[in-house]
Amino acid sequence: MRNFRKATNDDLDIVIHIIQDGKERLSQAGVDQWQQDGPDVERLKNDIELNQLYVLEKSSIIGVCAIIQGLDPNYLTIEGAWLSEGPYAAIHRFAIAKEWYGTGVSHELMRYAIETSIYPSVRIDTHHENVAMRKLIERNGFVYCGIITL
């Protein structure tokens, strides 16, 4: 059985390892995302402190994501338009342990993240060259709204 829960400081080492797996996978795919300014230790510690970092575990942690409830400064400016202007949650720092690639865990983690939102609207973004993540996002019902610049 899998458990989805808020991350704690005790989880930090494995979370960093999973984020590193994600960085390596993106690099191997030729995607620039997370290569220069990806999630760092301070960002992850801050997410934990703010109770917005979550982990999916089986016998160990196999996935991680941040769920920001409410206004996300990254989404204030968009070349395009959001589907709604009301309150929303935003999913960030989404990564799966490499041993679990191709097993459906990413879809499961995404469903948990969406269901955890306290708002009816959920936003997510990814690098335009991150085809795998774009497919996952689309398969989970998200609609392309435009371009944001981080």
Per-residue pLDDT reduced to its tens digit, 48-85: 999 999 999 999 999 999 999 999 998 999 999 999 98
Cα–Cα distance between 70 and 2 in angstroms, integer? Answer: 27
pTM of the model: 0.94
Per-residue pLDDT reduced to its tens digit, 84-109: 989 999 999 999 999 999 999 999 99
DSSP output for 94-111: EEE-GGGTTTTHHHHHHH
The predicted structure's pLDDT at residue 2 = 84
State how far the alpha carbon of 38 is from the alpha carbons of 1, 23, 84, 94, 116, in Å.
30, 8, 28, 11, 24
Cβ neighbourhood burial of 74 (10 Å; 0-12, 13-18, 19+) = middle
Map out the domains of the chain with their CATH numbers. 3-147 (3.40.630.30)
